[in-house]
Structure 1
Amino acid sequence: MKEWFGSAAICINENKEVLMVKGSNSESWAIPSGGIEQGETPEECCIREVKEETGYDIVIEDSLFIKETEIKGYKVKTYYFKVKKTGESAGINDPDNIIVDAGWKSLRDIQNIQHAYLEDLEILEKFLK
């Protein structure tokens, strides 16, 4: 079975809001994430993906857990990190052109939006409570 490795970032701001992104052709939101490129560590991937998808520079505060699942015949392993933004967003600069919006979501927001990965909701709620 083919394998796919990725990283995902949980970024909470001073207002207890989580940074989320929305892809094109979708009403679903997700935390910034993406595939690890050749020669990249999960941490480097996390920093790059957040920058591309949201425009924010971040620092990694904590390695949280690894989510393992199967999607469309791929064995998927995603490294989750707690991160902190530094400075303001330089704007979305996604080379894959799949991210159309990025925004900060409160606990109430995340309980009312569509999620691309519903299993993440419980995790996010813990961080926002």
Structure 2
Amino acid sequence: MKKWYGAAGICINDQGKILMVKQGLPEEGKRWSIPSGEKEKNETFEACCMREISEETGYDVQIVKALFIKESVEQGIEVKVHYFEVEVIGGMPVIQDPDHLIYEIGWKSTNEIKQLSLSFEGDRAFLLNFIHKKMKGVQR
């Protein structure tokens, strides 16, 4: 079975909004997701996460902590994605994706995430819960 390994970064700002990108192939339709992508040979999952966010959004980030690993089989391909919490340490929003699959960058609120068409529907509940937990901690 073919394998695909990658990383994804979840970044939340002071207003409780998550950094997301609108992506997709024109024939498949465009949907929102957190920045993510395939790990390159001899690259750590952490380095992959930081590189993909830079390419897709223009922001420089650092890893806050590892969150979880999502494993699945998609169209006969074994998929393993390492999710990380990250924070912005520099850069500015600019699309510089070498694959030309990113169309928009945005900070999305809880209400927006509830309504968005997502690339990975399974991420919706996790993202909403992540915002809830982070903002609860901020309000103490």
Class of the TM-score when normalised by the shorter of the 2 chains:
over 0.9
Unaligned runs of 5+ in 1: none
Length, aligned pairs only? 129
Instruction: Give the equivalent residue in structure 1 for 2:115.
Output: 112
Higher Rg of the two aligned structures: 2
Q: TM-score, normalised by structure 1?
A: 0.96
8 Å Cα contact 2:93-2:105 kept in structure 1: no
Unaligned runs of 5+ in 2: 133-140
- Tell me the CA shift for residue 98 of structure 1: 0.6
- Tell me the CA shift for residue 88 of structure 1: 4.0
- Counterpart of 2:74 (choices 67, 71, 76) is 71
Instruction: Give the equivalent residue in structure 2 for 1:3.
Output: 3
Instruction: Give the equivalent residue in structure 1 for 2:12.
Output: 12
User: Which amino acid counterpart does residue 85 of structure 1 have in structure 2?
Assistant: V
**1:1-129 matched pairs, under 5 angstroms:** 1-24=1-24, 25=26, 26-129=29-132
User: Percent sequence identity over matched residues?
Assistant: 45
- Tell me the CA shift for residue 6 of structure 1: 0.4
What is the root-mean-square deviation of aligned Cα atoms in Å?
1.0
When you count helix as a share of all residues, which structure comes out higher?
Answer: 2
Note the alpha carbon deviations across 1:60-119, whole angstroms, 9 max, x for none: 001000000011110000000000011341511001111111100000000011011011
Moved segments of 4+, more than 2 Å:
24-27
Alpha-carbon distance in structure 1 between the residues aligned to 2:111 and 2:67: 23
Alpha-carbon distance in structure 2 between the residues aligned to 1:45 and 1:64: 15
